[in-house]
Amino acid sequence: MAADLVQVLRRTSLLGSVPDADLAALAGASRTRTLRRGQVVCSAGDPGDTLIVVLSGRLKVVTRSADGAELTLTMLGPGATLGDVSIADGGPRSADVETLADSQLLFVPRERVQDVCARIPAAALAVAASVAGTVRRLTDAAGDLVFLDLPRRVAKVVLSQPRDPGGLVTPQLTQEQFAHLAAGTRQSVNAALRGFEKRGWITVNGRDVTVRQPEMLAHFAGD
């Protein structure tokens, strides 16, 4: 199991440059946890004392208003890491994290990762690059909320999701998940998707969304 965890850590963008001996030490200091779909991984304000690595399953990172309205900031699958900001500044969690499917997670102690970054410049640069990428993504998302109408935000959400060679968005997203990503309602998201389908840009079959003309979606979204 330890050897498997070393390979998992090796494949992450944060720790790919770390020597095997250090990865083995990180794996030995870490703990795994299995969660069912819909469970809370952590909440905003919790101590950011671990780097979380997704071994299997899928997570969503969300922020909520005082009245319970939800905005999904991102979704994470196998190989993704969570907690780079806390690694960098030692602060608490900045958002809620929940499982979208049965998931197995690896929790790596923050102080162990910080020690590696202090000794290995490439690891420190990887953390800095990850934090910068998060800032850029959130800056773009904030601009979209202000300057784009709902259909254009939905188009960007569709294009941002992983797709198989045939254009099928995978894993599937519910209309509620699309709505949380696009900061809209299920009804408005459904109307936008049906509008794209009428134009021939996508096809919708239940929860299956297949992108047929990504260039047209991108042009519509302003990308």
**In the chain, beta strands by DSSP E:** 31-35, 40-42, 50-56, 59-64, 70-76, 81-82, 96-99, 103-109, 202-205, 208-211
Query: Quick one: average pLDDT of 10-23?
Result: 93
Rounding to the nearest 10 degrees, give the CA dihedral for residues 126, 51, 183, 168.
Answer: 70
What secondary structure does DSSP assign to 138-179, as a single string?
HHHHHHHHHHS-HHHHHHHHHHHS-B-TT-BBSS---HHHHH
Highest CATH level, class, for 2-145: mainly beta
What whole-number distance in Å separates Cα of residue 41 and Cα of residue 155? 29
**Which has the higher per-residue pLDDT, 104 or 68?**
104
Half-sphere exposure of 78 (CA within 13 A, CB side): 10
H or E element in which residue 198 lies: helix 186-198
CA geometry: angle 25, 13, 44, nearest 5 deg: 85
Q: What is the pLDDT of residues 71-88, one digit of tens each?
A: 999 999 999 999 999 998
Q: Which helix (H) or strand (E) holds 15?
A: none
Share of residues in the chain with pLDDT > 70 (%): 99
Domain boundaries, the chain: 2-145, 148-221
pLDDT computed for residue 198 by the predictor = 97
Asked if pLDDT for residue 2 goes beyond 70, the answer is no
pLDDT of residue 1: 61
pLDDT band at 38 (very low <50, low <70, confident <90, very high): very high
Whether the per-residue pLDDT at 205 is higher than 70: the answer is yes
Which residue shows structure tokens 């998302």?
Answer: 141
What predicted TM-score, i.e. pTM, was given to this entire model?
0.85
Q: What is the mean pLDDT of residues 46-51?
A: 95
Q: How far apart are CA 189 and CA 166, in angstroms?
A: 23
Q: Which two tokens stand for residue 144?
A: 């979209």
Options 1.10.1670.10, 1.10.10.10, 1.10.10.60, 3.40.50.170; CATH for 148-221 is 1.10.10.10
What is the sign, positive or negative, of the torsion defined by CA atoms of 52, 53, 57, 63? positive
Are 221 and 148 in contact by the 8 Å Cβ rule? The answer is yes
Q: In this predicted structure, what is the pLDDT of residue 223?
A: 72
The predicted pLDDT at position 70 comes to: 87
Confidence of residue 212 (pLDDT cuts 50, 70, 90): very high
Other beta carbons less than 10 A from residue 8's beta carbon: 19
Task: Categorize the per-residue pLDDT at 68 as very low, low, confident or very high, splitting at 50, 70 and 90.
Answer: confident
CB-CB contact of 123 with 18 (8 Å) = yes
User: pLDDT tens digit string along 136-186?
Assistant: 988 998 899 989 999 999 999 999 999 999 999 998 898 899 999 999 999
